[in-house]
Structure 1
Amino acid sequence: MTLKAATLDHKIRNRKSLLLQLAEQRGLAGLLHGDSPLSFGARFEIRRQLDEAARQKNLETIVQLAHRASSDDVGSEPDPDWLSHFLALAENIRHPAMQQFWAGILTQEIARPGHCSIPALNCLRQMTQKDALLLQRASALSCHFGDDQLRLLFGYQHRTMLQGLRQHKLSLGHHRLSYAGLLQLFELGLLHQSELESGELPAGAPLRLALHSRQLVLTPARKGVRLLYYRFTSIGNELAALMSDNPPGDYLRELTELLAPLGLLEGA
């Protein structure tokens, strides 16, 4: 009992110390130190200067990271309105991993203006690092077939004469994309919420599945097969395209095992 109480006191002291540290970093510790010789107005001015200095540091860090990542290839100047909007949003990005991501967007925009829209930037500004990691995982598991729209393929369905409609699915949760993660991507407007099915795949007609640098070609041996997937929204498609992770090997293995019974599967 004594040990438990001591542990609780230790946690309280740590939290107070952490809160004091955060308050001092943001210029909000005036009352925590007792009577201050500075007025509230003077302390506000100090906090404003700290905030402005932090925003300046954020932008300079992102520009430095973008400069390091840029090559000597020919580039083009981004649209001025886009650049102003980018800077207005990026100045509040403090997390190093997210600064790296925003630097990558700036680098790609200079290489190919129009690559990332302003609505996509607005969506990205609302995302935490955890959200960005979820999108990165979804992007790594994504593919496209028939067009350039990214999809999260997770199964298929087919009709049998004796058993009717049957479905076969893999678990995205086994590949670090849980249902809670999917719900978060739905909430952010990056994935459409409903499970979708493709048109019926013609028997004997090859279908090319592009999974980043990997290519699978499925030639169904029977009629009545439809693929099951989640589709990225237009903004989700934009932001996911900025993340170039290849599909994990365990997902590729499970996907090929899932699709192999449908017919000829090449590239597995």
Structure 2
Amino acid sequence: MTSAPTWDPRQYLRHAGHRTRPSHDLLARVPELPGDPARIVDLGCGPGNITALLAERWPGARITGLDSSAEMLAEAERVAGGGRVDFARVDLADWTPSGPYDLIFSSATLQWLPGHADLFPAWAHALAPGGTFAFTVPGNFTAPSHVLLHELCESPRWRDRLGGLRRAGHVLEPGAYLNRLAGLGLSVDAWETTYVQLLSGPDPVLDWTKGTALRPVLTALGDDAESVEEFLRSYGALLREAYPVGERGTVFPFRRIFVVARREG
């Protein structure tokens, strides 16, 4: 099954504080940009909340947000559009950069793009002298949240409808990203962080995954409300066991991988 998942910007932004924190941490390591005005592209801009952070950091920059989801782009236009910020609907697998860019930025998108590292040569070539390619991707695909989801999709009950479902998880380890990008002549800083997130409310990990990992499942089940309810009930029970609620809420560790690669001026 290869159809692209449909996205729900409101569900995605229900945990906006936790979801945005890695972008703040990534931006803190991005050096000043060479262009005046700087030219920036946000790959997989989603609902535009991160694009707005880019515009806040570089208010005079020309910024373009790219995403394949019409739902996300509509929200992005509302949140961050106008002025020197625009958006376009693009499949990143087919995107040909029209550089030079002072910053190519991506937050929590490349994991949905199989073989994305093979696109790095073209992206690196599109950097202006002194320009930066900065991205962060989840590194939690061996966590219970993802393992249990995969096992449930492949179970006898769901295999015919959800088995082999395309999902995120196409990421390399930090050292592999460093080697790929250093081999392209870039100066690379790569690291990882595990955020120990405290979630609140009933079934908070299930609610988190409804905005991201569950999107392919929800898309595949479509308007079959009975099946959606059954799947969520089963998956929710597994998550409650894997992530028990504690005195202060539910602890949800989340590993992230970060890379900042700069072309020397």
Q: TM-score, normalised by structure 2?
A: 0.24
Greater relative contact order (Cα 8 A, min sep 6): structure 1 or 2? 2
- Whose strand fraction is larger, Structure 1's or Structure 2's? 2
Q: TM-score, normalised by structure 1?
A: 0.24
- Whose helix fraction is larger, Structure 1's or Structure 2's? 1
